[in-house]
């Protein structure tokens, strides 16, 4: 651990939205783990899947040191757990998974960013917003191939089809290693947020809405005002220069802790086929 540790202050929110009967999202925001899971599968399968992912990461909470391989192992536990939930269900069960975990990388603290599906991690630094994660979705594949224009993506008929998910046949997780930099702000969110607010609006709110508590609340409010067609989940994390651990209420806290990219295969037998179609305005 560094002699002058970085301090994190964070706030999390999750909301069912205006169109869904059940909140199938799950959030874990507890040092050193900050993840969002967006479940799918219909009936109770979606919320069971996302809850199982959170449970798989709980053993990492509160550890004084987490290694990257422990995060990979947690993803593996999540895959096995969701596969069990999916067994015997006609529609199966699955979930996205995205987030950041503070890990010890060569004796220095670092962000291990992980992603499966189309939930996202953004980074705000110097007033510039960048998306760290890369969606595993049909739309993203078409954008990458140049067969779909960016301004057509929001209205494309297949915009809710994802190509990887925890619990599915292709559960490969992408990983990025980033340094922890004082002054940066991170946003972890489900597509219930990013699908309602374009990146420029996200940048403006993350820049001008104030402390993490106010910013997280305003992001949720604006997503709901813009339609709230899906469950909305988010975590806002600030990296501060100094301080000690001070709780700030449910879903928030202050923690003391200071881009490489890889993909890890988690291909298990007897898992649900992809792609998944994630519904809008109704059950999945």
pLDDT of residue 221: 98
Scan for tokens 């997780």, then name that residue. Answer: 173
The Cα–Cα gap between 107 and 62 comes to 18
pLDDT of residue 3: 57
Query: β-pairing, 185-189 with 252-256?
Result: unpaired
Q: What percent of the chain has pLDDT over 90?
A: 65
pLDDT of residue 60: 98
pLDDT at residue 255 above 80? Answer: no
CATH of 7-258+267-277, one of 3.20.20.70, 3.40.640.10, 3.40.50.880, 3.60.40.10: 3.60.40.10
Q: How far is CA 260 from the centre of its chain?
A: 18
Supply φ then ψ for residue 89, to 5 degrees. -100, 130
Domain boundaries, the chain: 7-258+267-277
pLDDT at residue 103 above 50? Answer: yes
- Give 21-60 pLDDT, tens digit per residue: 999 999 999 999 999 999 997 657 999 999 999 999 999 9
The Cα–Cα gap between 221 and 18 comes to 12
pTM of the model: 0.85
């Amino acid at each position: 651990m560094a002699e002058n540790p970085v301090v994190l202050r964070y706030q999390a929110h999750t909301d069912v939205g205006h169109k869904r009967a059940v909140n199938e999202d799950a959030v874990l925001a507890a040092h050193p783990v900050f993840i969002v899971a967006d479940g799918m599968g219909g009936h109770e399968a979606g919320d069971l899947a996302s809850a199982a992912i959170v449970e798989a990461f709980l053993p990492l909470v509160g550890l004084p040191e987490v290694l990257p391989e422990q995060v990979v192992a947690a993803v593996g536990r999540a895959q096995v757990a969701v596969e069990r939930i999916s067994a015997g269900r006609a529609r199966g069960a699955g979930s996205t998974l995205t987030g950041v975990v503070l890990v010890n990388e060569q004796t220095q603290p670092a962000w291990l960013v992980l992603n499966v599906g189309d939930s996202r991690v953004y980074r705000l630094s110097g007033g510039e917003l960048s998306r760290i994660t890369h969606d595993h979705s049909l739309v993203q594949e078409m954008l990458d191939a140049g067969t779909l224009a960016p301004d057509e993506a929001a209205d494309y008929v297949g915009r809710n089809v994802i190509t990887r998910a925890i619990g599915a046949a292709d559960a490969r997780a992408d990983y990025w290693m980033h340094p922890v930099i004082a002054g940066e702000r991170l946003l972890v969110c489900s597509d219930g947020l990013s699908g309602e607010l374009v990146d420029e609006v996200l940048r403006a709110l993350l820049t001008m809405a104030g402390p993490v508590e106010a910013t997280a609340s305003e992001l949720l409010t604006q997503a709901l005002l813009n339609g709230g067609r899906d469950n909305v989940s988010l975590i806002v994390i600030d990296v501060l220069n100094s301080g000690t651990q001070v709780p700030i209420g449910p879903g928030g806290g202050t923690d003391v802790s200071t881009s490489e990219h890889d993909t890890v295969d988690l291909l298990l037998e007897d898992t649900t086929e992809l792609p998944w179609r994630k519904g809008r305005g109704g059950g999945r």
